[in-house]
Structure 1
């Protein structure tokens, strides 16, 4: 069956697609994916239900599109801009700020809830974790005043990414300042370990 071109369906367009995704994001974050119907998404977006399937062939594709587009697995462009020579603790805090998962509340809610039951969401989360681990290794390598062995960088990156993910998961229970203070404390511990296990 041929796919209709945009413009042949009344109301179709980039803004409509965005409205559908915005509505889906809010509803799925609040209710969960399984409890959110395409009819509810259409109503919230102010579009006919059939228009949903013009953009998204299945309900599942709405979820996967949301995660792929709004929680990309390579969200940080300029890694060099995060590094601070001689100050790896500051560089780690810079990395968390650049990632800014705190500003994506509804997407976070969706990811943590749906990762258990939707393999594609789980894979996206794993890919993001791997990417952040590799970025953290590079940021630490560029910032550390010492030469750190690969195994040390790997361990420090693992600890930092776990801390960022944990902090993001707990954001709903605390204020932003608490999160930042906790992460700064973890950054100090991670960089202390980096220094203790490295050599000039």
Structure 2
């Protein structure tokens, strides 16, 4: 099971800003943003509290910076290399692997985003942008990989299903990791990718 990132000390590498974000990520995921005092973040990071405010003028800016930098709304600059001509199933699997939503770090950030979206409008907006990006990226790789010309509404439906499947698989993996259970490879996304690709081809052939 992937473990948390290695803890450093400010005296070792002097990278206080990253240490603060490391500490904030860990504490906010465990406690929630509102229940995490700035002083606790400073203590966890091993830096003076004043240094936290040097890098982050407000407590809110710690949260928004953490999300923007560690789970960007547009994580991939280009998905062209993920396309497999005539093989949408493989293209979908490539997209999931490139996004890497199922690793430990991404799962922790998703916990933070989903929880804090309830009370922080900026986080909700970031989540909307991320989901829109994932949807559009999926449409792009499906369009480029499909052996047939797919209607826009078919591409949209397939992309919606695939994005939901990626998030579902990532959530299932996190629950297993929390309980120290082996990940169930029978739940691998390739089977879902096969179904989505089959639906794409059939609906495109039918002109749906």
Instruction: Bin the TM-score by the shorter chain.
Output: 0.7 to 0.9
- Match in the other structure for 1:116: 118
- Match in the other structure for 1:139: 141
Cα deviation digits, residues 59-88 of structure 1 (max 9, x gap): 111001100110101111331111111110
How far did 1:31 drift?
Answer: 1.2
- Distance in 2 separating the partners of 1:63 and 1:179: 34
- Distance in 2 separating the partners of 1:176 and 1:152: 35
Gaps of 5+ in 2: 1-10
How far did 1:14 drift?
Answer: 7.5
- Distance in 1 separating the partners of 2:14 and 2:186: 36
Is 1:198 aligned to 2:204, yes or no? yes
Aligned CA RMSD, in angstroms, stands at 2.0
| Residue 108 of structure 2, aligned match among 106, 122, 132 | 106
Is the CA contact 1:171–1:179 (under 8 Å) kept in the aligned structure 2? Answer: no
TM-score by length of 1: 0.87
Is the CA contact 1:93–1:187 (under 8 Å) kept in the aligned structure 2? Answer: yes
- After TM superposition, the structure 1 stretch with the greater mean CA deviation from structure 2, 130-139 or 98-107, is 98-107
- Distance in 1 separating the partners of 2:197 and 2:153: 14
- After TM superposition, the structure 1 stretch with the greater mean CA deviation from structure 2, 108-117 or 144-153, is 108-117
TM-score by length of 2: 0.84
| Residue 130 of structure 2, aligned match among 105, 128, 131 | 128
- Match in the other structure for 1:33: 33
How far did 1:95 drift?
Answer: 0.5
- After TM superposition, the structure 1 stretch with the greater mean CA deviation from structure 2, 103-112 or 118-127, is 103-112
Is the CA contact 1:167–1:179 (under 8 Å) kept in the aligned structure 2? Answer: no
Residues 1-200 of structure 1 correspond to what in structure 2 (within 5 A)? Answer: 15-103=15-103, 104-174=106-176, 177-178=183-184, 181-199=187-205
- Secondary structure in structure 2 of the residue aligned to 1:24: helix
How far did 1:180 drift?
Answer: 7.4
How far did 1:15 drift?
Answer: 1.2
* Structure 1 residues 192 and 101: CA distance shift in structure 2, 3 A: same
Number of residue equivalences: 189
